[in-house]
Amino acid sequence: MRCTPRCPTSRRPPNTGWPSTATRWAWAARCAAPGGRYAGSTTTRTCAVISSPDRRGRPRDELTEHLRGVLSNHQVPKRVHLVDELPRNASGKLLERVLSGRADVRSAAMLRGALGQGWRTVADSPPPGPFRRGFWRSPIRGPWLTAVLGSVLLVGITILFVTGLASYAAYNPDLRSNDMTPGKGLLGFYLFDWPTEPYWLYRLNQGVHVTLGIVLVPVLLAKLWSVIPKLFDWPPVRSLAQLVERVSLLLLVGGAIFEFATGIVNIQYWYQPLPGSFYSLHFYGAWVFIGAFVVHVGIRFPRMVRALRSRSLRDELRTGTAATRPEPLDEHGLVAADPAPPTMSRRGALGLVGAGSLTLFVATAGQSLGGPLRRTALLAPRGQILGSGPNGFQVNKTAFAAGVTAAQTGQSWRLELVGAGAPVAFDRDELLAMPQHSAQLPIACVEGWSTSNQLWSGVRLADLARLAGRPDAASVLIESVQRGSAFANASMRRNQILDSRSLLALRVNGADLSLDHGFPARVIVPAAPGVHNTKWVARMTFVEA
């Protein structure tokens, strides 16, 4: 079909610049359907052609495809709609202006205004249910309660992050055999040589990290409840700044749920729901979460301080349900516009959260604290008391679960030392004939549980390094007879080798090690994670710097 002289492909208007998008679309439409009319939207990138009474006998679908092909040659959208008449509203009047050929800058501004009016109409008409303000009617929800819960989480999550970083450093991940996150890059900027003093350092760190994480679960759930109207805010985005805030909020809420959930499944040794390794998921997830957390705190901290100062905690703790009143309406939409009668006071809500946290503390803390509280640690997967004998303390993984048999650890077992010269091997009797040393040390695991101090005896790692010809070794790679486990091998640093309490233990509490506790020999190092106190040791390779 031949274009009319007004078509932009026929002649470019001199000295006026390229016509507006709306103008080009109007011209293209007249070229495509002489006698018809056209309207386009620069925002939705959609065009509509008002068909003439005479379609030249073509079916609507055929004419639509024809128009789409012609319009595409004029750099206009391919989404074409045939309509028989314009809508009878302001937008229709605007489209009449475009159809008449007066598609100038003023028309484009009018079009943007009409589209803005349409957006405001959508914004003022939220979907039914939680997107409407009247859906949320709790009289105790408001900035003050949110700020109280938020202040607790601010302190608690900061401690969780610091202890989490310390736990990661305790694995010495910059030693290749220990690295569970080889792609960490700059995220490992803070790594340092994990110390061996105090000997209970890792036990304290993981006890705080795990116990606090569990205790904060009711606080986190209450905080999400207090701000849930904001999660259903309508419209979801009003400006670019709000878009950034909403994205950070999504990462914050999603990151918090992800970190707490992965931590809990790890504590319970329930790895089936995880799509990958817990260590990499929890590590990288923590950095995503803490980034969103810092942004959120930076934006909301002044608001939190103002909210905390708006009411007295002492007064609220003295206010019962009957005297509970909603907070003043706020600009952020947390306070219910039409609150329901109170069924619980703010004192009751805080008490309920506190009672939940206290219950979880009692049911968890004993696995780290030990003593009489160990019997109350109902949620601890390794809280069991195995007996009263020398080997009657907790076991993380039994020999059966690890696939270690008596044949691998029987008379044929040898400890191989690899160092400067030719490898040397010792059987258990030869190791027992060497100078024996003792140390009282606990076993502490990343899942938060730990044993009380046990009396270990055996050969110092420093003495074994000298036997291997590497008294100044920078590290040692310890290998187990166990196979198929991520922690069958572990490396220790120089400071861990040289500590006088670092032993290749042969006995515990005056008796030979049981098979479940690592017979015939296991490593025990002060302040080291439990999985690095390798059991069923078969080879030790001492490496220079």
Per-residue pLDDT band for 37 (boundaries 50, 70, 90) equals very low
Check pLDDT > 80 for residue 74.
no
Q: Which residue has the tokens 């007004």?
A: 6
Say yes or no to pLDDT of 78 above 60. Answer: no
Higher pLDDT, 1 or 425: 425
Residue with tokens 């030719």: 422
Confidence at residue 287, expressed as pLDDT on a 0 to 100 scale: 95
| Residue 477: Cβ within 10 Å count | 18
Residue 116 confidence class, pLDDT cut points 50, 70, 90: low
Question: If you average pLDDT over every residue of the chain, what do you get?
Answer: 81
Q: Residue 103: what pLDDT?
A: 43
Contact indicator for 99, 47 with CB cutoff of 8 Å: no
Residues 46-61 have a mean pLDDT of 47
Q: Give the per-residue pLDDT at 355.
A: 98
Does the pLDDT of residue 387 top 60, yes or no?
yes
Residue 23's pLDDT is what? 45
CATH number for the domain spanning 463: value is: 3.90.420.10
Q: How many C-alpha atoms does 57 have within 13 Å on its Cβ side?
A: 0
Q: 85 falls in which pLDDT band (50, 70, 90)?
A: very low
Provide mean pLDDT across the span 387-416. 90
Whole-number pLDDT of residue 126: 74
Position 187 in a domain: yes
Same domain as 220, residue 311? yes
88 or 513: whose pLDDT is higher? Answer: 513
- Asked if residues 116 and 123 have their Cβ atoms less than 8 Å apart, the reply is no
* Gyration radius (Cα) of the chain, Å: 35
Question: Domain with 283 in it: what CATH number?
Answer: 1.20.810
6: pLDDT strictly greater than 50 = no
Total domains in the fold of the chain = 3
pLDDT in tens, 447-474: 988 999 999 999 999 999 999 999 999 9
The answer to whether 328 touches 287, Cβ cutoff 8 Å, is no
pLDDT of amino acid 371: 76
pLDDT at site 432: 97
Per-residue pLDDT at 45: 40
- Check residue 379 and give its pLDDT: 77
How much is the pLDDT for 373? 79
Can you give the pLDDT at residue 270? 86
Is residue 301 a part of any domain in this protein?
yes
Mean pLDDT within 466-495: 93
Average pLDDT over residues 229-251: 81
Q: pLDDT digit string (tens) for 131-181?
A: 877 888 899 999 999 999 999 999 999 999 999 999 999 999 999 889 889
The number of C-alpha atoms within 13 Å of 87 and in the hemisphere containing its C-beta is: 8
**Confidence (pLDDT) at 47:** 47
Q: Residue 117's pLDDT is what?
A: 59
CB 422 within 8 A of CB 434: no
Instruction: For residue 471, tell me if it sits in a domain.
Output: yes
User: Are residue 283 and residue 152 in the same domain, yes or no?
Assistant: yes
**One domain for residues 158 and 291:** yes
Local structure of 282: helix, strand or coil: helix
Whole-angstrom distance, CA of residue 70 vs CA of residue 66: 6
Which residues does residue 82 pair with via DSSP β-bridges, in sequence order? 49
How many angstroms separate the CA atoms of 431 and 425, rounded? 10
Are 542 and 473 spatial neighbours (Cβ–Cβ below 8 Å)?
yes
Tell me which residue range forms the domain holding 49. 21-123
Average of per-residue pLDDT across 187-191: 90
Q: If you ran DSSP here, which 8-state letter would residue 298 be given?
A: H
**Average pLDDT of 513-517?**
94
Q: What is the structure's pLDDT at 93?
A: 53
Asked if 154 and 293 sit in the same domain, the reply is: yes
Residue 412 has a CB neighbour count (10 Å cut-off) of: 8
Tens-place pLDDT, residues 344-367: 999 999 999 999 999 999 999 888
pLDDT at residue 236 in the model: 78
- In this prediction, residue 38 carries a pLDDT of 42
Query: Which of 269, 291, 320 is where one domain is finished?
Result: 320
Tell me, yes or no, whether 255 lies in a domain. Answer: yes
Would you say residue 137 lies in a domain? Answer: no
Shared-domain flag, residues 220 and 79: no
The answer to whether residues 60 and 161 belong to one domain is no
Mean pLDDT of 77-101: 47
pLDDT digits (tens, 9 = 90+) for 316-337: 999 999 999 999 988 777 888 8
Q: Whole-angstrom Cα distance, residue 269 to residue 267? A: 6
Q: How many CA atoms lie within 13 A of 344 on its CB side?
A: 13
The pLDDT of residue 96 is above 70: no
Contact between residue 490 and residue 177 where contact means Cβ atoms under 8 Å apart:
yes
> Are 303 and 447 within one domain?
no
User: How many residues comprise the chain?
Assistant: 545
Q: Residue 3 corresponds to which amino acid?
A: C
Separation between Cα atoms, residue 364 and residue 66, nearest integer Å: 71
Q: Which two tokens stand for residue 425?
A: 């091997």
224 and 155 both lie in a single domain = yes
Asked if residue 128 belongs to a domain, the reply is no
Q: What is the pLDDT of residue 44?
A: 39
- Choice between 372 and 69, residue whose per-residue pLDDT is larger: 372
Mean of pLDDT values over 42-68: 48
